[in-house]
Structure 1
Amino acid sequence: MASQPQINPKRQQELQLQYTNYKNTLQQMAQKIGDIEQEAEEHKLVIETLEPLPQDRKCFRMVNGVLVERTVQDVLPTLKTNSDGLKQVLEELLKQYKSKQTELDNWKKKNNIQVVQP
């Protein structure tokens, strides 16, 4: 009966540390993606609410923790720009996440790593 060759404890510890680093990085990226998705959804909701309103209607916007009075005409273009920026950042983060996931998969194959779930 053939058994797996034993890896020395130091090498095993290094591999475990690398695996943990990969998983932590992926988890942080997923958290950031979730935060940005939520913020983009909030922007979309506000834009959909403001678009049918008259352009000269006053509205309030939070800028650096300060509530400022503006008109729909002033706020809407800024919101759309911010929303577009969030979408671009989200796309870039998703690409980075997929790249990192592929890197982890390749690393697991290269080092013959098999994850055992408790």
Structure 2
Amino acid sequence: MAKNTSKVGKKTNEEIFAGFQTLRNEQRQLGSKISELQMELNEHKIVIETLRGVELTRKCFRMFGGVLVERTVAEVLPELISNYEQLPKAIQSLEDQLTQKGEEINKYIEEHDIRIQRADRTMPEPPPEQSTSTKSNVLVASG
């Protein structure tokens, strides 16, 4: 049973680069989401501290899906505290995913023999003992 691996096993440099870029974009999105949740955690902390010093029967407003609703502090405070307690778990989960994505990127780099080079630097010369016929992919990162 011979398998035809000529098309499946060989990727062009463009496909390899596109795969790498996809992984990097996913990593950046995870980082952005972590930052967003950390800011949300800080906002929750500030609001909770502020509402703890206010009468429980006082009116307050809360945004639900773009709609501003009127509630009392007694109704909103427990919800905010609950969210505040759950946010660190979500952040930790995303940080774990970010670590896994970094490992996946490193494996991809190794697997496809990618050399990352900054645009403002010149590429180092290969050691003399390396054969000139070895194939290596070079990725130039700008900025």
TM-score category by the smaller chain? 0.7 to 0.9
Q: State the Cα distance separating 1:68 from its structure 2 match.
A: 2.6
Provide the rounded CA distance (Å) in 1 between the counterparts of 2:68 and 2:28.
34
Tell me the residue number matched to 2:86.
Answer: 85
Tell me the residue number matched to 2:19.
Answer: 18
Q: State the Cα distance separating 1:47 from its structure 2 match.
A: 0.7
Tell me the residue number matched to 2:44.
Answer: 43
Amino acid at match of 1:75: V
Specify the SS of the correspondent of 1:116: strand
Find the structure with the greater CA-based Rg. 2
Tell me the residue number matched to 1:116.
Answer: 117
Provide the rounded CA distance (Å) in 2 between the counterparts of 1:65 and 1:20.
33
RMSD: 1.7
Tell me the residue number matched to 2:139.
Answer: none
Tell me the residue number matched to 1:57.
Answer: 58
Specify the SS of the correspondent of 1:114: strand
5+ residue gaps in structure 2?
1-10, 120-143
Structure with the bigger percentage of strand: 2
Q: Give the direction of change, closer, same or farther, for the CA distance of 1:68–1:13 in structure 2 (3 Å limit).
A: closer
Provide the rounded CA distance (Å) in 1 between the counterparts of 2:67 and 2:12.
54
Q: State the Cα distance separating 1:51 from its structure 2 match.
A: 1.4
Asked whether 1:98 is paired with 2:96, we answer no
Amino acid at match of 1:45: I
Q: State the Cα distance separating 1:23 from its structure 2 match.
A: 0.9
Please, what TM-score do these two structures have when normalized by structure 2?
A: 0.67
Please, what TM-score do these two structures have when normalized by structure 1?
A: 0.80
Provide the rounded CA distance (Å) in 2 between the counterparts of 1:64 and 1:41.
20
Tell me the residue number matched to 1:66.
Answer: 67
Q: Give the direction of change, closer, same or farther, for the CA distance of 1:66–1:110 in structure 2 (3 Å limit).
A: closer
The runs of at least 4 aligned residues of structure 1 exceeding 3 Å deviation read none
Provide the rounded CA distance (Å) in 1 between the counterparts of 2:107 and 2:65.
43
